[in-house]
Chain A
Amino acid sequence: DADVTQTPRNRITKTGKRIMLECSQTKGHDRMYWYRQDPGLGLQLIYYSFDVKDINKGEISDGYSVSRQAQAKFSLSLESAIPNQTALYFCATSDGAQETQYFGPGTRLLVL
């Protein structure tokens, strides 16, 4: 079984819709992250959480919100989706020791 899972793997939605991307992990890590990836731009940090009560904005948080429901679950919401949020979204976890991050398989989102 995968250590970091993301659902859905693919999603098509319309402008203005609210959607949620979910991430679960069985690695027992406290730290979880959401990134988006656009072609040629690498990974950009959206939000991160160092424990259940800790939520922090990353470099591109506008238009997004998150919820850390438990140590193992971290959800990303797009309150009102817009076409330039079309991207590949990755969840990642780390143990905070050496800061090695482990990535989920990604969610490919298309906003029409």
Chain B
Amino acid sequence: QKEVEQNSGPLSVPEGAIASLNCTYSDRGSQSFFWYRQYSGKSPELIMSIYSNGDKEDGRFTAQLNKASQYVSLLIRDSQPSDSATYLCAVLSTGSARQLTFGSGTQLTVLP
């Protein structure tokens, strides 16, 4: 069983709508969570990090974390065609190794 699960999509939303991306993880002790955006053929770039339960907002992006449910999500408000990309959820492992485990990504398409 993969440790970080995401719906692979593709997820399509119209321009201006809210896109909701979801991620679940298996390591109950994890404390650090990240969302990366990856355009086709490009490298991942960090959008948001979140460490505490609740919501964290940055511009049009909101990350939500629920450690009890082992669930982290990313909301993109007022979606734009330029948001079309693959979104990777990453979870930092507990223990001394402190490795990031990535989900397989959700492909988002924002339709003009």
Contacts and interface: CB of A to CB of B under 8 A. Distances in A.
B98 A99 contact: yes
Contact of A98 (B32, B99, B104): B32
A96 B88 CA distance: 20
Nearest to B32: A99
A56 interface: yes
Interface in A16-43: 40-43
B34 A100 contact: yes
A42 B99 contact: no
A90 B99 contact: no
A43 B102 contact: yes
Contact of A106 (B43, B103, B104): B43
In this complex, the interface size class of chain A, counting residues with CB under 8 Å from chain B, is 20 to 34
Contact of A100 (B8, B46, B102, B103): B46
Contacts of B99: 45, 48, 58
Interface string A81-112: 00000000010000010111111111000000
Contacts of B49: 98, 100
Interface string B14-53: 0000000000000000001010000001111110010000
A79 B24 CA distance: 36
Contacts of A43: 44, 88, 102
B85 to A, nearest CB: 14
Contacts, number: 43
Interface residues of B, number: 21
A100 B46 CA distance: 8
A40 B44 contact: no
A20 to B, nearest CB: 20
Contacts of A103: 43-45
Q: Which 7 A-B pairs have the closest CB atoms?
A: A103-B43, A42-B104, A43-B102, A42-B102, A103-B44, A99-B92, A106-B43
9 contacts: A44-B102, A56-B97, A58-B99, A100-B46, A101-B46, A101-B90, A102-B46, A105-B43, A106-B42
